[in-house]
Structure 1
Amino acid sequence: MQPIYIVYPIILVVLLWGAKFKKIGSFNEEAFSLRQMKAIQGFVALLIMLHHCSQKTSASWIDKKFYIGGLDMFVEVGFVLVSFFTFCSGYGLYKSLKTKPDYLNKKFILKRIFPIVALAYIVTWIFLPFRYLLGEKISGKRLFYYLSGIKLSNPNGWYVCIIPFFYLCFYLAFRFCKNEKIALSIVLAFTVGYQLLGTALNHYDGWVGGEWWYNSIHLFVVGIIFAMYEDRIIPHVKKYYIVYLIAGVALVFGAYRFWQYARSNFSYYGETWDAPDTVLRRRVTLLGDALFSFAVVFFSFLLSMKIRIGNRFLDFMGRITLEFYLIHGLFVELFCFSFTSKLKSLYYIKSQELFVIVVFVLGIVSAWLLSLLNNKLLKKITK
């Protein structure tokens, strides 16, 4: 057995330490509370770190001399993990709209969108000197592209490139439409339109890099819908909980099989063999991704209704989730076999378990420092 397998019981301990399990007939009334949602996102951020580490050690496409294995299960599930973020974003926006007076005022962009964009640029600029020092030839034009965000200096920064547009869409729709169903329809149309546009583009053909830019954003709308009808959905699910739990297991299993079938038989990469129906292939594959990610998120929150998670570490991670998500990738790139798959890395850590530990520790420290900086910046601009 490879030493890296120790990570699996560790992540279970991290998740379940301090957890409270509800008896038959009772439920976790804090399943969708801010604290639990933050704890879930903090935990998912750790899994995303393992996903990025796995792509540098256990992915089928890397050179065999760098392949180690052991983290294989994380290689292709990044979109599922990000789906938790998009769901929580949509859910949180609508809940805030209903509970905070004048939530969609003129300061919404300053308070909710600007901090995300500012943090994205800060991390982008942190990546830039490492690109230069490790040998990338950066022309004036490329420097402008990196500084402006037209090209991503941080290869994992795509999420913070797109989520502000969906926040803005929510803001415009729900502020200026008196009918919430029409507002929801606008957000839904924007989301579907974005995904259809994404599937019409080849990889790196423009700003959108590939399917990871659009194959998890549908849960943003699902989060809004759930928040809108939560008062009706939750009592119904509680009443038929066992039925939904069994259905959830079946849905995850069935969606997983279809996801695997769609990726194997259709693929996002039709342009690599000049497939005449490349766009259709992508859309069928996207359907598989959408169903599987929805199934996993749905089943996870079913479990959350019976298990209250939360401990000091998850609470801490919940406060630095975005910062950790953005900055840990720097250390993945610095200490894997190559920096951004093109340059020699700062130092190649051959031990997979040491590689994961270094990325985790440096990622945590850097994310905490970034959160301090971001909080100070937010206080100054919102005075």
Structure 2
Amino acid sequence: MDRLIDLLPVLLAGLLLYKCSIVKPAGALREDHLSPRSCLSARGFFAVTVIMHHIAQYTSAGLLFHRFEYLGNMPVSVFFFISGYGLMKRLSSDVAYGRSVLRRRLPKVAVPFFLAAVAYKLMCMCIGQEMSAGDMLGYLINSGNSLCILWYFVVIAGAYFLFAVSALFFGGKPNAVLASMALCWAVYVIAGSRAGLGEWWYNTAHLLPIGMVWALHENGIQRTVKKCWLPVTVLCIAGFALIFTQYDSIYALCPTAAFHLTLAVLRNMFFTLGFVLITMKLRFGNRALELLGKVSMELYAVQLIPLDLFHSEAIWIESDLIYALAVLSVTVTVSVLIYLVKKKLNKQPSLG
């Protein structure tokens, strides 16, 4: 029965392709491929991809499904790109955006993070597993259980803070803010590697300033891409495929930490830009993806609970297929319920 787990990647592909359409005529390309609605669908798709990647790390069944284990944090690089693009888009249209960015964006990150951390602590108490605050911090930083999934919330929250400081310091000047964010990324990579952080902490964050570059120079980039969309797209896909499939062989040519990081940075960049370029020709999006996009932060945070709970001494699901279905169903259901509760609360009249 566990072989049926390979149907999950097929269903995921079907979710992406449902109502997908090709831009016509043959030489035409979309100019709104990074619209809020398109980005919402992308976030929904890659949020589910991230969950399936983590499930694959806990399972071994399936010819297709187990390959999700090797995706690493490549899907997360799309999140960083979209965030960087959105930040710069808003700043370009409103130089005072730096004053409100933390108020607008930080709660969307901080609330799921702390709710997930508290829920994980309560889960550990219920199943008789000791877990101190120090233990949780250690797992978050150094891996060891699903708590390390929350690294993304820490990094993106830090990026929002640095963006706000840069925007205020430079008076909302986009080029200056972009330069400062690129510099911050370089310093972060050096500091993170020397501090012994896992590479996943910093080998995708460069997509945030790349997304900012795309937003700042979008018109020029689109004009250039229109002239050579096919070769540039093929180059990105080929670059990603080469590094992804031959990673160990290429790394053996220069087995150093710096080269290892360089390969990861290039792989994630090719992966993300390849997807962005494909969306210029293919129009993805449907109501299911948009709903998943609206709860993408909740999906990302909630998953860590069923991932560990259903492979704990209290509840051990032996079947890989049932385990995967349980994790996915609980994660999506709880995330949607949280979204509906938040939506309901936001509609309540103010008492003050």
Specify if TM > 0.5.
yes
| SS of structure 1 residue aligned to 2:31 | coil
Q: 2:257 aligns with which of 276, 282, 296?
A: 282
Equivalence for 1:364:
332
Say if 2:283 is the partner of 1:308: yes
Say if 2:315 is the partner of 1:347: yes
Asked if the contact 2:92/2:216 (under 8 Å) is kept, the reply is no
Structure 2 unaligned spans of 5+ = 141-145
Moved more, 2-11 or 299-308: 2-11
> What TM-score, normalized to structure 2?
0.88
Structure 1 unaligned spans of 5+ = 59-66, 203-207, 268-280, 339-343
Say if 2:28 is the partner of 1:40: no
| SS of structure 2 residue aligned to 1:166 | helix
| SS of structure 2 residue aligned to 1:137 | coil
**In structure 2, C-alpha distance between the alignment counterparts of 1:300 and 1:171, rounded to whole Å:** 28
Equivalence for 1:118:
111
**In structure 1, C-alpha distance between the alignment counterparts of 2:305 and 2:110, rounded to whole Å:** 18
Equivalence for 1:54:
56
Equivalence for 2:90:
96
Equivalence for 1:247:
235
Say if 2:79 is the partner of 1:85: yes
Matches within 5 A, 1:197-276: 197-202=191-196, 208=197, 210-256=198-244, 259-261=247-249
Give per-residue Cα distances to partners, 1:189-214, cap 9 Å, x unaligned: 11111111221133xxxxx4x12211
Moved more, 84-93 or 254-263: 254-263
**Residues 1:29 and 1:6: Cα distance change in structure 2 (over 3 Å):** same
**In structure 2, C-alpha distance between the alignment counterparts of 1:259 and 1:116, rounded to whole Å:** 33
| SS of structure 2 residue aligned to 1:181 | helix
| Alpha-carbon offset, residue 379 of structure 1 | 8.1
Asked if the contact 2:31/2:222 (under 8 Å) is kept, the reply is no
| Alpha-carbon offset, residue 290 of structure 1 | 0.5
Partner amino acid for 2:102?
I
Q: 1:73 aligns with which of 55, 67, 83?
A: 67
| SS of structure 2 residue aligned to 1:225 | helix
When the two chains are superposed, the root-mean-square deviation of aligned CA atoms in Å is 2.6
**In structure 1, C-alpha distance between the alignment counterparts of 2:330 and 2:239, rounded to whole Å:** 38
Asked if the contact 1:41/1:85 (under 8 Å) is kept, the reply is yes
**In structure 2, C-alpha distance between the alignment counterparts of 1:256 and 1:290, rounded to whole Å:** 12
Equivalence for 2:12:
11
| SS of structure 2 residue aligned to 1:349 | coil
**In structure 1, C-alpha distance between the alignment counterparts of 2:223 and 2:111, rounded to whole Å:** 40
| Alpha-carbon offset, residue 326 of structure 1 | 0.7
**Residues 1:52 and 1:120: Cα distance change in structure 2 (over 3 Å):** same
| Alpha-carbon offset, residue 123 of structure 1 | 1.2
Partner amino acid for 2:239?
L
**In structure 1, C-alpha distance between the alignment counterparts of 2:98 and 2:284, rounded to whole Å:** 31
Give aligned pairs, total. 342
**Residues 1:222 and 1:214: Cα distance change in structure 2 (over 3 Å):** same
**Residues 1:252 and 1:70: Cα distance change in structure 2 (over 3 Å):** closer
Partner amino acid for 1:295?
F
Structure with greater helix share of residues: 2
Partner amino acid for 1:56?
Y
Equivalence for 1:189:
183
Asked if the contact 2:91/2:174 (under 8 Å) is kept, the reply is no
| Alpha-carbon offset, residue 175 of structure 1 | 2.5
Asked if the contact 1:115/1:374 (under 8 Å) is kept, the reply is no
**In structure 2, C-alpha distance between the alignment counterparts of 1:375 and 1:191, rounded to whole Å:** 35
**Residues 1:185 and 1:352: Cα distance change in structure 2 (over 3 Å):** same
**Residues 1:163 and 1:14: Cα distance change in structure 2 (over 3 Å):** same
Equivalence for 1:276:
none
Equivalence for 1:20:
21
**In structure 2, C-alpha distance between the alignment counterparts of 1:295 and 1:80, rounded to whole Å:** 10
**In structure 1, C-alpha distance between the alignment counterparts of 2:194 and 2:344, rounded to whole Å:** 41
State the percentage of identical aligned residues.
24
**In structure 2, C-alpha distance between the alignment counterparts of 1:244 and 1:144, rounded to whole Å:** 47
**In structure 2, C-alpha distance between the alignment counterparts of 1:5 and 1:251, rounded to whole Å:** 27
| Alpha-carbon offset, residue 350 of structure 1 | 1.8
Give per-residue Cα distances to partners, 1:47-68, cap 9 Å, x unaligned: 111100000013xxxxxxxx77
